[in-house]
Structure 1
Amino acid sequence: MIRRPRRNRQTEVLRNLVQETTLSVNDFIFPLFVIEGQNQRVEVASMPGISRFSIDTLQEEIASCVDLGIKAFAPFPSIPERLKDKYATESHNPDGLYANAIREIKRNFPEVVLFTDVAMDPYSSDGHDGIVENDEILNDESLEVLGKMALAQAQAGADVVAPSDMMDGRIGHIRRVLDEHGYQKVGIMSYAAKYASAFYGPFRDALSSAPKKGDKKTYQMDPANSREALVEAELDIAEGADSLMVKPALAYLDIIKALRERSNLPIAAYNVSGEYAMVKAAAERGWIDGEKAMLESLLSIKRAGADIILTYFAKEFAQSLKK
């Protein structure tokens, strides 16, 4: 007897019936960029279709996304240089840009879920995710800043804080700080396996957050390593993480799969700015079908085992469902 798998591909109805992986707007968190000022909407040159928003226009953008069914967002702040310093003190300013943005979003859209970024680099005059002393990134001293930042975000209305710094011990420290101040319900999505990747360029352009000196290889992971990701994930689980993230996504599908097979926690993946920009650039030149490439990329991330996908394609995907 000859097996003929093509029998199950003969019609669209059959193909839909046997489809193993599906996507919906419920899978996505939409990253957003926040800037100072009023009535501001400035496109990110390296990310066609993505803009930086002042707090007022950000509300309009979120409203349009909610109408499309997107209910989860990850805002990132673009902090002016005048407010940056060595210790990222602006990161826990209760009246700063980020805290005000979080409060305003939750006031207008109490039903949405906000995943807020816990990292020093947008606020640091050094552009690093930790305090820099003599060209060294200090770990334990940086945890104090991260704890204050997470608390300020929780107080402003964050539903889930997402430490993206890759300092050792930060999940446990943040969990203790939140619990001690009565924020037991605020979750922690850990960037458990965040690699020192070349795919972050457009994001750093959007926030002007690139390191002023050196690189991030002493704290972000080596792209050559996979077993190390399991160690990082195990530590974060033990310290109290509620979900685990792999960043970037497309070059690290094997890591997503490995974490999915070894943990029962929700697994998130960040379809990062460089991955988005490559699809957009090729589509603009007519080299690929942008919408089909978007769908194939997102399906691959879900198929690898991600429950949650942070992607700049979230709104475009939702719009494609309305066609």
Structure 2
Amino acid sequence: MAYPLVRHRRLRSTAGLRNLVRETMISVNDFIAPIFVTEGTGIKDEIASMPGVYHWSLDTLEQELSEIVGLGIQSILLFGVPDHKDATGTSAFDDNGIVQRAARKIKALYPELVIVADTCLCQFTDHGHCGVVHTSDCGAEIGNDESLELLAKAAVSQAKAGADIIAPSNMMDGFVTAIRQALDDAGFANTPIMSYAVKYSSAYYGPFREAAHSTPQFGDRKTYQMDPANAREALREAQSDVDEGADFLMVKPGLAYLDIVRMLRDRYSLPIVIYNVSAEYSMVKAAAMQGWIDERAIVLETLTGMKRAGADLIITYHAKDAARWLKENEAN
């Protein structure tokens, strides 16, 4: 009688066997939960395109923090939505800016919670770009080196306020060098940099731009964010950040770029971070609200896939739900 030489199904026949041979595990320790903090009082406003994600004012922020900490999540990614914007994004490096006040409040409430501070100018500029804009008869251009000076000031201000990790997301050339030097000079040599090393000019950012009020007022970001068609370029970008002293390498977005995560994982020993971005979240939420998918199963499978691709850490708007589901799985 003919039969297979190898029966792979033997190790899949029961839940116990599947648990024994499972290769990739996700944990609440893998998650970084994004938070949007805004000016004002009494604010808990749901972001229309991101169900379950809110704008929080400083006086309501503890509600969100207590839930995050209670679920065992140990890190947040902090975004600020200011009430003042100008051409150079001065509120980004104002020691009394929204991010800085939020960081101080978070540290006062939960000193062990790891604050990752997003370091960019786009939320703080009146034009919505990630750097200083120069205009001429030829059009508008984002000035690289002038922008670095402002980003370095923002990083130092965030570190002074209590940020544990600086996460520059601007994609200016040389941003790790500029920020590392500024942090070192200001006495923050031990503050790590989580570089948005490989950040693509992606259609997946739409809901985030609503949340952060950061839509460019003209043009796009294709001259500084990466072309989605390019992979080898990602290695060049990552290598520059490694050489300049980055402590983490991030790939953003996530789902359409798992091949890039694997490329970085195979080449570098630094921790690899993946950003499960806003549209990836919103599409799942929208389909779940229609009853078209099993949200819990889809989310946990997606996060497992990101970990399997090589990510050590996952920034995700699903963090609270995923942490809750993992606890329920453990209880069962």
Partner of 1:177: 182
Partner of residue 32 from structure 2, selected from 18, 29, 33 = 29
Q: Distance in 2 between matches of 1:232 and 1:272?
A: 20
- SS of the aligned residue for 2:246 comes to coil
Corresponding letter in the other structure for 2:96: D
Q: Distance in 1 between matches of 2:259 and 2:155?
A: 30
Structure 1 residue 149: deviation in Å? Answer: 0.2
- SS of the aligned residue for 1:2 comes to coil
Contact 2:28 2:326 in 1 (8 A): no
Partner of 2:125: 124
Partner of 1:76: 79
Deviation digits for residues 101-132 of structure 1, max 9, x if unmatched? 00000111110111001101000011000111
- SS of the aligned residue for 1:14 comes to helix
Structure with larger Rg: 2
Corresponding letter in the other structure for 1:121: C
Structure 1 residue 322: deviation in Å? Answer: 3.6
Q: Distance in 1 between matches of 2:41 and 2:326?
A: 32
- SS of the aligned residue for 1:73 comes to strand
Q: Distance in 1 between matches of 2:126 and 2:51?
A: 28
Corresponding letter in the other structure for 1:253: L
Q: Distance in 2 between matches of 1:288 and 1:64?
A: 26
Partner of 1:273: 278
Structure 1 residue 36: deviation in Å? Answer: 1.0
Q: Distance in 1 between matches of 2:123 and 2:113?
A: 24
Question: How do 1:1-323 and structure 2 match up within 5 A?
Answer: 2-80=5-83, 83-134=84-135, 135-323=140-328
Corresponding letter in the other structure for 2:12: R
Contact 1:79 1:207 in 2 (8 A): no
Q: Distance in 2 between matches of 1:203 and 1:133?
A: 26
Unpaired runs of 5+ residues, structure 2, are none
- SS of the aligned residue for 1:204 comes to helix
Corresponding letter in the other structure for 1:251: A
Q: Distance in 1 between matches of 2:10 and 2:314?
A: 32
What is the identity percentage for the equivalent residue pairs of Structure 1 and Structure 2? 54
Unpaired runs of 5+ residues, structure 1, are none
- SS of the aligned residue for 1:111 comes to coil
Corresponding letter in the other structure for 1:27: D
Structure 1 residue 141: deviation in Å? Answer: 0.6
Structure 1 ranges of 4+ moved more than 6 A: none
Q: Distance in 2 between matches of 1:302 and 1:321?
A: 15
Q: Distance in 1 between matches of 2:154 and 2:23?
A: 41
Q: Distance in 1 between matches of 2:311 and 2:59?
A: 33
Contact 2:82 2:97 in 1 (8 A): no
Structure 1 residue 57: deviation in Å? Answer: 1.5
Corresponding letter in the other structure for 1:150: A
- SS of the aligned residue for 1:256 comes to helix
Q: Distance in 2 between matches of 1:297 and 1:55?
A: 32
Structure 1 residue 75: deviation in Å? Answer: 1.1
Q: Distance in 1 between matches of 2:71 and 2:287?
A: 26
- SS of the aligned residue for 2:33 comes to strand
Q: Distance in 1 between matches of 2:256 and 2:129?
A: 23
Contact 1:204 1:210 in 2 (8 A): yes
TM-score norm. by structure 1 comes to: 0.98
- SS of the aligned residue for 1:56 comes to coil
Q: Distance in 2 between matches of 1:94 and 1:283?
A: 41
CA RMSD of aligned residues (A): 0.8
Q: Distance in 2 between matches of 1:128 and 1:302?
A: 31
Contact 2:27 2:326 in 1 (8 A): no
